Structure 1
Amino acid sequence: MTKVIYCVLLCHFIAAFAALGMPLFLPMVLPTLDAKIDTDWVGILFILPTFCTAVAAHFGGGFADKYGRRRSLLRSQLGLAIGFALCGLADNLTMFVFGIIIQGTFGGTMVASNSYLSSQIKDAKKLGKSLNNTQISARLALIIAPIGLGWSLSKTNPLNAYLWLFVLPLLAMAITLTLPADHLAKIKTEKGQSPNEAQCTPIQPLSTLYWVFYAQFGFSFAMVVTFPYFSPYMQQYGVTNQAWIGFLYALPHGVYLLFAGKVHLFSEWVNRHHPQCFLWLGFILLSFSAAMHLIFYQAILIVARIVFGMVCCYHALHQALANQIDRRQSGKVFSRFDAMSKWGGVSAGLSASFISSLGWLEVPFLLSMLVSGSTIIALIIHSKFGRQHVIYSITSE
């Protein structure tokens, strides 16, 4: 089982390296297509794959539950490969945009990887750790890809880089083909159940997980809204060293890489009073961090980037999914979970773009603090009153 987990994580890293690395260099790519478009369109193309992934989430989840999780993972890797090939072969903006749309619509390797892991890992605690590890592979890609691609793009045409990256998802496909196939789409029985008994077991309604989806949206929005214009915000206070700005920007991701694999022990201690305490702590830290960014002092800023809340929020949300997921519909669950993350990111990006156009670079941090705080309040209210409603909805079906 350990071999399967590491193979899936390696495949996800390979795909994420390609998918997460190139958007940063769109301003270098578009001039090679003789694309005379406004700079605002660069931002739109930046979020276009994310938007397409969110729109296609329902299709991807249904495909995984109906045809199998490994097959869904292969489909997503093939979608990335075709999207990158189209971008690399593009000789005009229309074809390039079409390639980006294919990449976003038929990609979604995070969802497919998590769905496959849920079909192979039966223990909820171990599944929660594995979901954290897929985020680790994504963070590694976010850190390594810009460095590696930045070096390689200085030596080649940016469009040629897409053709080189097209090979990476195909490599991931080759590895995935060596993994065991899942049969959850066909075999509905749990251990110790006969097929007739399993058919009588009702599928847990997705409404019991809505609070997790909404918390994911709030977390994604509050986190991402501070990202797009972090560099200009630093520069307006006289920080001109781009390497230092890059370090501060990447610091929360680095903290996640350091602690994501060990945080489960601390979370169990925090959750001894209430199963959502660790998630509340994550949003409190995120809100506190956003407020600290407004007190522009170097030492405080470093602390703010360290206590960003990313470790707590991701771990708590993943563990909540692992504890409550009905594995017969894991494709739908993870697709909706990821879609809420994507919608949160798209909404945050558009909000930050509008706010920055007005010259209010401090407002994204205020907005992050407000959304984090309101999400905490909503989660506490749900923990007090939502459980009774969920029990009633299940028993009435």
Structure 2
Amino acid sequence: MELWKRTLYVCLFGAFMASVGLSQAAPLIPLYLQDLGVHDQGSLANWSGIAMGVTYLMVALVSPFWGKLADRKGRKLILLRASFGMMVTNALLGFAQSPEHVVMIRILNGMVSGFFSGSITLVATQTPESRTGWALGLLSAANLGGSLLGPMIGGYMGSTFGIRYAFFVVSALLGIAFLSSLLFIKEDFTPKVKGPAPSFKDLQQSISNWKGLIFVSIASFIFAFTTMASAPILSVFVQHIVGRGHEHIALLAGLAFTSTGIAQMLASSVLGRYIDKLGPQFILWTSFIYVGCLTIPQAFTDSIIVLCIIRFLLGFGLGGLLPGINTYIASITPKHLAGQIFAYNQSTLFFGYFMGAVGGSAIVSQWGFSTMFIVTGMIIALTGVFLKVTLGRTTTASH
């Protein structure tokens, strides 16, 4: 098997398991906090929000540091660090004795994570240029699959083995990802002589299409912000549609979430092939416009069936965004700076996720669900128009 393919397959497994490790806590943390003595509904909501949110915030803050280290010491080292670190932090969660312990461990979890961003950099630098879009599409699908199945896996293991043991099982699976990366990934990398890390000015001089990179980074933030804006309140929106007394609200909300994710996962690898044929710019601006046009109709639906259909169709457009963003960045970035650039973009994404969760809820609380869907839909569609105008004037570079 060719080296780049073996690297890709190991990264697919590792990215899936790392995503499971991050997302499986979603249904477990509130229940775990109850076991640790938090019973007041308001306190439980606050502790749960803090425990979930700090992980993503820490990922955004530390990603640039890990990216610089990847460019200096190699990308395989980052994969080993992330898989081993998440293995340890998930195991530590099983020993937590208080809400404060949970939050502290979740902070550590965010600090040591980064398997997916490291995988993007490694795959982008090892894969032949003609197959980059396809490979990054598969990687996005694996990451998304882990985030979709993580809550289900966590919930199942928590109810079957107990919440503490669920963390231990995920820790063991991350240990397998660590061993797979250690044994099967080969990287031809010469460590750099220690010196000052490139400044923003150095990066700007090294990347011929700096404006294109800035435009795509803006698009990354908007993608994360607008897609996360509806996530915290989607269950409430479903309740708004079917009525507060409906006995299957949780199931229907789960279907609304999952319908988008399944379509997105299916579309990622397919659209990745079209990225290789048509170029990332075309897939990016068309996907943004498509997603924007399908976000707005959610404001006017009063049927859960129609909502799930719209969100399923929405997923096909979302499936082209991250592969398109990552392929475009790979095409304009010198390989010796790939780790740092992808890490900065990862920070942009996670800040977008963090701000979207806060901003979407604020819009709903002030102006209602319809306004939130209309505003975010218009922002996404206008971003597509913006990319059509701006990226059409830029060119990619080979390195």
Question: What TM-score range do you get, normalising by the shorter chain?
Answer: 0.7 to 0.9
Q: Does 1:44 align with 2:50?
A: yes
Question: What residue number does 2:83 align with?
Answer: 77
Aligned partner (choices 275, 278, 281) of residue 276 of structure 1: 281
Q: Does 1:345 align with 2:349?
A: no
Aligned residue for 2:320, secondary structure, equals helix
CA–CA separation in structure 1 for the residues paired with 2:308 and 2:22: 29
Question: What residue number does 2:110 align with?
Answer: 104
Once the two structures are superposed, residues 330-385 of structure 1 have per-residue CA deviations (whole angstroms, 9 ceiling, x without a partner) of: 11121112111111100001112333445723333123113213423432442366
The verdict on how the C-alpha distance between 1:38 and 1:151 changes in structure 2, with shifts beyond 3 A counting, is: closer
Question: What residue number does 2:229 align with?
Answer: 225
Aligned residue for 2:51, secondary structure, equals helix
Per the normalisation by structure 2, the TM-score is: 0.85
| Aligned-residue offset at 1:267 | 4.8
| Aligned-residue offset at 1:294 | 1.2
Structure richer in helix, relative to its length: 2
The verdict on how the C-alpha distance between 1:384 and 1:321 changes in structure 2, with shifts beyond 3 A counting, is: closer
306-315 vs 279-288, which moves further:
306-315
Q: Is the 8 A contact 2:134 2:273 kept in 1?
A: no
| Aligned-residue offset at 1:206 | 8.0
Opposite residue 46 of structure 1, the aligned amino acid is M
Instruction: Note the aligned Cα RMSD (angstroms).
Output: 2.6
Q: Is the 8 A contact 1:18 1:165 kept in 2?
A: yes
Question: What residue number does 1:159 align with?
Answer: 164
| Aligned-residue offset at 1:51 | 0.5
Q: Does 1:293 align with 2:301?
A: no
| Aligned-residue offset at 1:300 | 4.2
The verdict on how the C-alpha distance between 1:125 and 1:322 changes in structure 2, with shifts beyond 3 A counting, is: farther
| Aligned-residue offset at 1:225 | 0.8
| Aligned-residue offset at 1:176 | 0.6
CA–CA separation in structure 2 for the residues paired with 1:129 and 1:268: 7
CA–CA separation in structure 1 for the residues paired with 2:253 and 2:161: 26
Per the normalisation by structure 1, the TM-score is: 0.85
Q: Is the 8 A contact 2:363 2:371 kept in 1?
A: yes
Opposite residue 106 of structure 1, the aligned amino acid is V
CA–CA separation in structure 2 for the residues paired with 1:222 and 1:342: 12
Q: Is the 8 A contact 1:53 1:339 kept in 2?
A: yes
Question: What residue number does 2:64 align with?
Answer: 58
Structure 2 alignment gaps of length 5 or more: 194-204
| Aligned-residue offset at 1:34 | 1.8
| Aligned-residue offset at 1:138 | 1.8
Aligned residue for 1:166, secondary structure, equals helix
The verdict on how the C-alpha distance between 1:296 and 1:77 changes in structure 2, with shifts beyond 3 A counting, is: same
The verdict on how the C-alpha distance between 1:255 and 1:61 changes in structure 2, with shifts beyond 3 A counting, is: same
Aligned residue for 1:261, secondary structure, equals helix
Question: What residue number does 1:194 align with?
Answer: none
Once the two structures are superposed, residues 246-301 of structure 1 have per-residue CA deviations (whole angstroms, 9 ceiling, x without a partner) of: 22221121112222222245556766xxx623211111111111111012154643
Matches within 5 A, 1:1-397: 1=3, 2-35=5-38, 37-121=43-127, 123-186=128-191, 203-204=206-207, 207-208=210-211, 209-238=213-242, 240=246, 241=248, 242-264=250-272, 266-267=274-275, 276-298=281-303, 300-308=306-314, 309-358=317-366, 360-383=368-391, 387=394
Q: Is the 8 A contact 2:61 2:347 kept in 1?
A: yes
Structure 1 alignment gaps of length 5 or more: 189-201, 392-397
The verdict on how the C-alpha distance between 1:278 and 1:329 changes in structure 2, with shifts beyond 3 A counting, is: same
Aligned residue for 2:97, secondary structure, equals coil
The verdict on how the C-alpha distance between 1:159 and 1:128 changes in structure 2, with shifts beyond 3 A counting, is: same
| Aligned-residue offset at 1:245 | 3.0
The verdict on how the C-alpha distance between 1:74 and 1:357 changes in structure 2, with shifts beyond 3 A counting, is: same
CA–CA separation in structure 1 for the residues paired with 2:307 and 2:185: 47
Opposite residue 136 of structure 1, the aligned amino acid is A
Opposite residue 143 of structure 1, the aligned amino acid is L
Count residues with an aligned counterpart. 372
Q: Is the 8 A contact 2:30 2:44 kept in 1?
A: no
Q: Is the 8 A contact 1:280 1:376 kept in 2?
A: yes
125-134 vs 327-336, which moves further:
125-134
Once the two structures are superposed, residues 229-253 of structure 1 have per-residue CA deviations (whole angstroms, 9 ceiling, x without a partner) of: 1111011111643433322221121
